[in-house]
Amino acid sequence: MSNSAPLIDQFHRRITYLRLSVTDRCDLRCAYCMPERQEFLPRKDVLSLEELHRLALGFIARGVTKLRLTGGEPLVRRDMIELVQALGRKLGDGLEELTLTTNGTRLAEFADAIAAAGVKRINLSLDTLDRAAFARLARRDSLPQVLEGIAAARAAGLQVKLNTVALKGINEGELPDLIAWAHGQGMDLTLIEVMPLGEVEEDRFDHYLPLSDVRAALERRFTLTSTGHRTGGPARYFDVAETGGRLGFITPLTNNFCDGCNRVRVTATGQLYACLGGAEQVDLRAALRSDDPDGALVAALDQAMRIKPLRHAFAIDRPGAAPALARHMSMTGG
């Protein structure tokens, strides 16, 4: 294979989207994502700035046009802005979109630099606007910083899309107001089903809320009209007549969307996971740290295309079940 051949898997899906985790560390501890005493990786195991950059260039050379930086919390990594700036220089030269997913706590500090590097849109995770509920769920009282971060991002000209995990007994009753608030500010919002990834203290079954039920409840207040709008991801979008905004649903559990998968994920240690919900993996760090990094990276990406599974196989169907995968979402990024 040449080092510019497109990435096409065994099911003829073309991979054009990379989600790259730059750290497994985070300044929050969202209860559905990680335990309070999460053990983080030793720094030597995490890819350096140069390695992350080289790896991203290897993907872009193979036809990846969209790159999302994630984590953990990407903005807690000290050299993150340098990476955003370096990758921003590839925009229009192979890369069509550079974006990130953040919890927003440090966005007020970095929004201007992110926008200046060429980022146009970001995803921001926000599950509640109630300060006490936020502090309980994220185990840190950081809602004011997040709201400042949102304001700074918008002032910097970044388009902000909110992602909200729908949680029974936690934010279920607040979802209509959260949607109305987001739309009132000109932000789209996407709801996500909680996924069984990694051990946490609570049983996720207790808070799992099928989005089919959420949608039925929302339709008592809002008029939802299905739209063909797509952002290259698995969300299905609806226009909300009453707010004039757009509402997305990501339903890994109630409605599988793997047929159109166009992405792979790489952890901060350079492990490529061919599927968010699968164990299939290729060690890109070993390739990058070998005698022939470029050649080894090409071979590793070809291997990834051979092992990418047709679909994920996770479910939340009974209380007390072990997570489908031991790996936390903060490893593979959202």
The residues that touch ligand SAM, with contacts defined as CB under 6 A, are 26, 32-33, 70-71, 73, 101-103, 125, 163, 165, 192, 194-195, 197, 329-330, 333-334
Q: How near is the Cβ of 72 to ligand SF4 at its closest, in Å?
A: 5
- Partner whose footprint covers residue 108, from ligand SF4, ligand SAM, none (CB < 5 to 8 Å by kind): none
Among 18, 20, 22, 28, binds ligand SF4 (CB under 6 A): 28
Closer Cβ to ligand SAM, 7 or 122, answer by number: 122
For residues 103 and 73, the answer to whether their CB atoms sit within 8 Å is yes
Could you give the angle at which helices 143-155 and 131-138 cross, rounded to 10 degrees?
A: 100
Closer Cβ to ligand SAM, 73 or 188, answer by number: 73
Structure tokens at 114: 């992110």
By CB under 6 A, residue 125 contacts ligand SF4: yes
276 by DSSP, 3-state: which? coil
Q: Please spell the DSSP secondary structure of 164-188, one letter per residue.
A: EEEBTTTTGGGHHHHHHHHHHTT--
Closer Cβ to ligand SAM, 9 or 73, answer by number: 73
- Partner whose footprint covers residue 252, from ligand SF4, ligand SAM, none (CB < 5 to 8 Å by kind): none
Could you give the angle at which helices 175-184 and 211-218 cross, rounded to 10 degrees?
A: 70
d(CA 235, CA 147): 24
Pairing of strands 224-226, 121-125: unpaired
1 by DSSP, 3-state: which? coil
- Partner whose footprint covers residue 29, from ligand SF4, ligand SAM, none (CB < 5 to 8 Å by kind): ligand SF4
Q: How near is the Cβ of 307 to ligand SAM at its closest, in Å?
A: 23
- Partner whose footprint covers residue 99, from ligand SAM, ligand SF4, none (CB < 5 to 8 Å by kind): none
Q: How near is the Cβ of 37 to ligand SAM at its closest, in Å?
A: 17
Closer Cβ to ligand SAM, 194 or 247, answer by number: 194
- Amino acid identity, residue 177? D
Q: How near is the Cβ of 282 to ligand SAM at its closest, in Å?
A: 21
Q: Please spell the DSSP secondary structure of 50-114, one letter per residue.
A: HHHHHHHHHHHHTT--EEEEESS-GGGSTTHHHHHHHHHTTBTTTB-EEEEEE-STTHHHHHHHH
Contacting positions for ligand SF4 (CB under 6 A): 26, 28-30, 33-34, 71-73, 103, 125, 330
